[in-house]
A and B are shown apart, each in its own frame.
Chain A
């Protein structure tokens, strides 16, 4: 094991896959000479050169479409969005071109491509730069949606995403890039579509993903002090969702709270609770609950911003109402 920040884990995954497969390349704004606006691609241009680490103009719709075209022709692009907010410029190419082509062609054409970048809110960057796109993408058949929390998962899931023959949406988080976690020294991958139990418990299940996992773990610690044993599930992949792991957990704990940093309406929590009520209804001892960002565009002022994203206290308080 060695300790690595999430930023490096993602970079190392890309580098290893690029070494193994000459068809893999990275394209996006400032990924090359600047080494990434958030330094995720640090060192890559030195190793792979500008043929495979490609700086684009600010032209998201164009380079996303170009990358989808290249993957139609057999290449395996990794498209970096400086942040996912800017992918709205390119959303048509992701949804209409990347997600639907395999189906529309009756399986004749496939699109092996990874779209990645930091997702969700950072600190005080305002409404247009703080969008969490996870629930938007889980609505789309033809996409896989991944959103890791720690370095081990980020690396293993990134490698699987690059090898996957389908379009994969890979949602990172700026505020996790600097967080350091252990990473195995061996060559490994983590299969898409599998959740991970971060902490096992018997009294309540808390699901989350990405940065929300940290708040969920902290809330579990607070609950523990009240003699409540919480099981924390890191979803890791949002589509396909590992409902089996969630349902098995609820069968044991009989309570569930879903935590997400995006908005509540038609969100990840809605999807999880719907699965639980149809598959494990009889096991529930309390209504399934969810917590999410306030239902407003994210304000700039830091005192207001803090009120918008669920923290450990909010999660703890919600859990306590279920007993």
Chain B
């Protein structure tokens, strides 16, 4: 007699061991052989594979037996794509604070401080006329890039818009080369031809640096497409802003990413303004993490001023994507302290609003407190680290200032690619 918890028949329902192994492999991007699937008939289906199997059952129009869901999971109305993915997501545990080590806290502190001091320096150099054009600083948003980077692997792909210095640094690109680029120098990461908005670091799997609002979103989706196509385990973190979230191609990307189950984390850096327009004046639905719902893409909002929250939230998203569940949306609630770019009079918000964020929510002040409260560092140590970072950045900036300008023979190079040897 079939027991209540014997779900071996589901394997046959889904076309038998070979077919199911194949479907699960291509669905999740993990390798699975026929034998293993057959062995589940005796040993039961492991929990790890249940989400994908539930998805396949739903896709093929079969009922999912209630007991197949782990306890606590709500299965009502699971036929809508939204509830389907949310049901699955609810099976994923939240990573808890106890996951955070002292080493994490130290590196969050060091990395965020580096981004802050770097961008402050860039602001100064701009003020001195050594950097030109559009230049968008990341000050205030450091927890996002640092927290995400801690949760992903080096061979994952990252892409963003024009506010890109921090993401490059987090990926491990050379701060010296970035400074050189900003000053139009020959040693610049794009030979001085890209500038602040257009920098790329293929060796760090960082793919730009894009000036057209929203255009990076399908590109990032394409990076994920390539990972899946080549059976790689890498995922794509595709960053964009709250303003960019209104571009049509974002929704076209959501649709394709879900349709083809692509390994992409859509990371929205909601700093509450797209240039001078607050999100309330630009988005009919300001709950950006929910914008994937009708495509069956789950998502959640995270306090993007807190690197620990970002990191823990990202860990869950990374697991979700790596398990083959397809895309997810992370909405980082964050804030930029400086103007949109260097030429922004910022009349659209009050000084008090900015001041309040700085005083009450600053990610670096938060992490300093963590260091002190947990007796990881004392004040002196924190000061020493800051001094060291400032000195390092000053040295790099001085060196970059003295570097030679982009050479004239760069002008006609790189319009078309003529192969590695040319």
Contacts and interface: CB of A to CB of B under 8 A. Distances in A.
A and B are interacting partners: yes
Interface string A282-296: 000000000000111
A275 interface: no
B212 A88 contact: yes
- B interface residue count range (under 10 / 10 to 19 / 20 to 34 / 35 or more): 35 or more
Contacts of B194: 126-127, 300
B132 A85 contact: no
B411 A300 contact: no
Quick one: which of B134, B185, B195, B247 has the most chain A CB within 10 A?
A: B195
A301 B193 contact: yes
B274 to A, nearest CB: 6
Given A34-B277, A125-B134, A301-B192, A58 B184 contact: no
B283 interface: yes
Contacts of A303: 184, 405-406, 408
Given A124-B132, A125-B134, A299 B406 contact: yes
A192 B213 CA distance: 33
B-side interface mostly: loop
B210 interface: yes
Contact of B133 (A29, A57, A125, A308): A125
A55 B248 contact: no
Contact of A58 (B181, B244, B347): B244
B276 A297 contact: no
Given A59-B247, A299-B192, A304-B410, A126 B276 contact: no
B415 interface: yes
Contacts of A46: none
Contacts of A299: 192-193, 406, 410-411
Contact of B405 (A29, A88, A301): A301
B218 to A, nearest CB: 12
Interface string B7-31: 0000000000000000000000000
Contact of A57 (B196, B215, B243): B243
Interface string B402-418: 00011010111001000
B175 interface: no
Contacts of B410: 299, 304
Q: Which of A55, A59, A86, A123 counts the most chain B CB atoms within 10 A?
A: A59
A307 B281 contact: no
Given A34-B348, A86-B212, A128-B212, A301 B184 contact: yes
Contacts of A62: 248
Nearest to A122: B133
Given A34-B277, A125-B134, A296 B415 contact: yes
A277 interface: no
Interface residues of A, number: 36
B282 A296 contact: no
A302 interface: yes
Contacts of A125: 133-134, 195
Given A59-B246, A88-B212, A300-B195, A33 B282 contact: no
A102 interface: no
Given A30-B276, A55-B277, A300 B244 contact: no
Interface string B234-278: 000000000110111000000000000000000000000011110
Nearest to B134: A125
B184 A307 contact: no
Contacts of B185: 301
B354 to A, nearest CB: 17
B211 interface: yes
B198 interface: yes
Contacts of A126: 133-134, 194-198, 211
A128 B411 contact: no
A308 B248 CA distance: 34
Contacts of B214: 58, 89
A129 interface: yes
B77 to A, nearest CB: 31
A62 B284 CA distance: 14
A37 interface: yes
Interface string B125-146: 0000000111000000000000
Contacts of B213: 58, 86
Interface in B112-132: 132
Contacts of A222: none
Interface in A62-97: 62, 85-86, 88-89
Contacts of A129: 133-134, 197, 211
A61 interface: yes
B276 A58 contact: no
A301 B188 CA distance: 10
Interface string A262-298: 0000000000000000000000000000000011110
Given A34-B275, A37-B275, A307 B411 contact: yes
Nearest to B215: A89
B275 A300 contact: no
Contacts of B244: 58
A126 B193 CA distance: 7
A30 B192 contact: no
Nearest 4 CB-CB pairs, A to B?
A: A300-B195, A301-B184, A124-B133, A124-B132
26 contacts: A33-B276, A33-B281, A55-B277, A55-B281, A58-B213, A59-B248, A61-B248, A85-B212, A86-B213, A125-B133, A125-B134, A126-B133, A128-B198, A128-B210, A129-B134, A294-B412, A296-B411, A296-B412, A300-B193, A300-B194, A300-B198, A301-B192, A302-B184, A304-B184, A304-B193, A307-B408
Interface of A: 29-30, 33-34, 37, 55, 57-62, 85-86, 88-89, 122-129, 294-297, 299-304, 307-308
Given A58-B282, A122-B133, A304-B406, 14 more contacts: A34-B276, A58-B246, A85-B212, A86-B213, A89-B214, A126-B195, A127-B193, A128-B211, A129-B197, A299-B406, A299-B411, A300-B133, A303-B405, A304-B184
Interface of B: 132-134, 181, 184-185, 188, 190, 192-198, 210-215, 243-244, 246-248, 274-277, 281-283, 347-348, 405-406, 408, 410-412, 415
